[in-house]
Chain A
Amino acid sequence: MLLKYLTGKNEDIPAGSSAIFFGFSAIFWFVVGTGLGSFNAAKLAFPDFVTGTELFAFGHMRQVHVLAVIVGWISMAFAMTMMYMTPALGNTKLWSEKLGLWTGMMWNIGLSTALFTLWIGITSGREYSDFAWPLDLVILLGVIAPLCINVIMTIAHRRTQGIYITNWFFGSCTFMVGIVLLVGNSPEYFHLTGLSEAYLTWWNAHNLLGLWITPVAAAIAYYTVPKLTGNPLYSHRIGHMHFWSIIVFYSTPASHHIMSSPIPEWLKSFASVEGVLILIPAVAFVANILLTMKGKWTLFVENIETKFTMTGVLLAIPLNMQGGFQQTRSINWYIHGTGWIVAHAHLALLGMSTFLEIAAVYFGLQQMLKRKVYSLALANIHYWFVLIGFCIYWISMTIAGLIQGAGKIYEVPYIDVVIAEHPYMIARWVGGTMVFTGNLVWLFNMWMTARVGTLVPEGRYAHELAYDR
Chain B
Amino acid sequence: MAFKEYRLGSAMVGGALGLSMIITIFMPSFDLRSAVSTKMALEKQLSAGFDIGFGYADPLLLGINRPLTVVLDADPKTGAKFDPPVTAYIYKPGVPMPPNIRHPHDLGKGVQDLSEGLGQIGSVSGSNHRVGTREGVVFTVGLGEFDGEELSYIENASATRGWTPDATLAAAGDKNTFKISQGKTEFVVQGCWWCHTLLPEQTQDWQVFGAPPYLGDFNGENPTAFGSDRKAPDLLHVGSRNSSREWMLLHFFNPRLVQVNSIMPRFDYLWGEKDAQGNVIDYDKWRVEYLDYANGKRVYPPEVPDYAPDSEIRALIDWVLSLK
- The residue in chain B whose Cβ has the minimal distance to the Cβ of A173 is B13
B204→A333 contact, CB < 8 A = yes
Q: Which of B24, B53, B217 contacts A125 (CB 8 A)?
A: B53
Interface pick from B83-91, B117-125, B206-214: B206-214
- In the complex, B160 has a CB within 8 A of chain A: no
What is the predominant secondary structure among interface residues of chain B facing chain A?
A: loop
- The residue in chain B whose Cβ has the minimal distance to the Cβ of A345 is B229
- The residue in chain A whose Cβ has the minimal distance to the Cβ of B261 is A419
What is the minimal beta-carbon distance from A303 to any residue of chain B, in angstroms? 34
Instruction: Flag A38-63 by CB within 8 Å of B: 1 or 0 each.
Output: 00000110011001111001111011
| CA gap between A160 and B149 in the complex, in Å | 69
Give the A interface residue count (CB, 8 A).
81
- In the complex, B317 has a CB within 8 A of chain A: no
B16→A248 contact, CB < 8 A = yes
Name 30 interchain pairs, CB-CB below 8 A, sorted by A: A44-B231, A47-B262, A48-B266, A54-B269, A58-B195, A59-B189, A123-B189, A125-B188, A127-B227, A168-B9, A176-B13, A183-B21, A191-B51, A193-B45, A194-B41, A195-B35, A196-B29, A198-B224, A199-B32, A247-B16, A257-B228, A262-B215, A263-B32, A333-B204, A339-B229, A408-B201, A408-B205, A415-B259, A418-B231, A422-B263
Given contacts A193-B219, A198-B224, contact A342 B229 (CB under 8 A): yes
B226→A60 contact, CB < 8 A = no
B194→A194 contact, CB < 8 A = no
Residues of B within 8 A of A163 (CB): 6
- In the complex, B222 has a CB within 8 A of chain A: yes
Residues of A within 8 A of B228 (CB): 127, 257, 337, 341
Instruction: Flag B187-198 by CB within 8 Å of A: 1 or 0 each.
Output: 011111111010
What is the minimal beta-carbon distance from A406 to any residue of chain B, in angstroms? 11
| CA gap between A221 and B157 in the complex, in Å | 64
B28→A263 contact, CB < 8 A = yes
- The residue in chain A whose Cβ has the minimal distance to the Cβ of B290 is A48
Q: Which of A48, A122, A199 contacts B61 (CB 8 A)?
A: A122
| CA gap between A260 and B203 in the complex, in Å | 7
Residues of A within 8 A of B226 (CB): 198, 258, 261
| CA gap between A248 and B59 in the complex, in Å | 39
Q: Which of A44, A121, A199, A415 contacts B261 (CB 8 A)?
A: A415
- What are the nearest 5 A-B pairs in CB distance? A59-B191, A132-B54, A125-B223, A260-B201, A124-B53
B190→A57 contact, CB < 8 A = yes
What is the minimal beta-carbon distance from A116 to any residue of chain B, in angstroms? 13
Given contacts A194-B224, A195-B215, A251-B17, contact A338 B230 (CB under 8 A): yes
Given contacts A59-B192, A60-B191, A62-B191, contact A411 B204 (CB under 8 A): yes
Residues of B within 8 A of A425 (CB): 263
| CA gap between A53 and B231 in the complex, in Å | 21
Q: List A6-35 residues whose CB lies under 8 Å from chain B.
A: none
| CA gap between A255 and B27 in the complex, in Å | 13
Given contacts A125-B52, A125-B223, A247-B16, contact A58 B194 (CB under 8 A): yes
Residues of A within 8 A of B194 (CB): 58-59, 62-63
Given contacts A257-B228, A262-B213, A262-B214, contact A124 B13 (CB under 8 A): no
Q: Which of A161, A197, A408 contacts B222 (CB 8 A)?
A: A197
Residues of B within 8 A of A263 (CB): 28, 31-32, 215
| CA gap between A193 and B224 in the complex, in Å | 8
Q: Which of B17, B25, B35 contacts A194 (CB 8 A)?
A: B35
- Given A44-B263, A267-B31, 19 extra CB contacts under 8 A: A44-B231, A47-B263, A58-B194, A121-B60, A122-B59, A126-B225, A127-B227, A176-B17, A193-B219, A194-B222, A196-B33, A198-B224, A199-B28, A200-B25, A247-B16, A262-B215, A264-B28, A337-B229, A408-B204
What is the minimal beta-carbon distance from A244 to any residue of chain B, in angstroms? 7
Residues of B within 8 A of A375 (CB): none
A51→B266 contact, CB < 8 A = yes
- In the complex, B233 has a CB within 8 A of chain A: yes
- In the complex, B77 has a CB within 8 A of chain A: no
Given contacts A195-B218, A337-B197, contact A52 B20 (CB under 8 A): no
- The residue in chain A whose Cβ has the minimal distance to the Cβ of B16 is A247
A57→B265 contact, CB < 8 A = yes
Count chain A CB atoms within 10 A of each CB in B13, B17, B224 and give the residue with the most: B224
Residues of A within 8 A of B218 (CB): 193-195, 198
